[in-house]
């Protein structure tokens, strides 16, 4: 498995090479897209990216958890969590990459 992490700057560089925008404009574009995605998620909206997947926010109810070391019961407060469901095309593409 690769140890490489795709960063914002990597995305900006890819936009620069593919579209031909300046590096600064490419970085601003990437920041704007990520900002729009995060703003929509904070507002509770789903973000669907065709052939990639769907990001959504899920409300989790309060529950009682247990400390595995001591067995002590601990309350877990209600919270919002980010979920991602990949598209079938993305799943197939990732699976095909595993075959060598």
Where do we find the tokens 């490489």?
4
Q: What pLDDT score was predicted for residue 100?
A: 55
- Tell me the whole-structure pTM to 2 decimals: 0.78
Instruction: Give the Cα separation of 59 and 37 in Å (integer).
Output: 18
Task: State the 10-residue block means of pLDDT for the chain, 100 residues long.
Answer: 84 94 95 97 96 96 95 95 96 84
> So what's the architecture of 45-99 in CATH?
Irregular (4.10)
Helices (H), 20-100: 23-42, 88-98
Backbone φ and ψ for 60, nearest 5 degrees, come out as -110, 135
- In the chain, ranges of CATH 4.10.520.10 domains: 45-99
């Amino acid at each position: 498995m690769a140890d490489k992490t795709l960063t914002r700057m990597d995305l900006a560089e890819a936009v620069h090479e593919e579209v031909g925008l300046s590096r600064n404009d490419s970085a601003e574009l990437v920041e704007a897209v990520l900002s729009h995605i995060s703003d929509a998620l904070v507002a509770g909206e789903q973000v669907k990216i065709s052939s990639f997947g769907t990001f959504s926010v899920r409300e989790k109810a309060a529950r009682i958890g247990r400390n595995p070391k001591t067995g002590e019961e601990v309350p877990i407060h209600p919270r919002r969590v980010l979920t991602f469901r990949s598209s079938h095309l993305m799943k197939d593409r990732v699976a095909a990459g595993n075959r060598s």
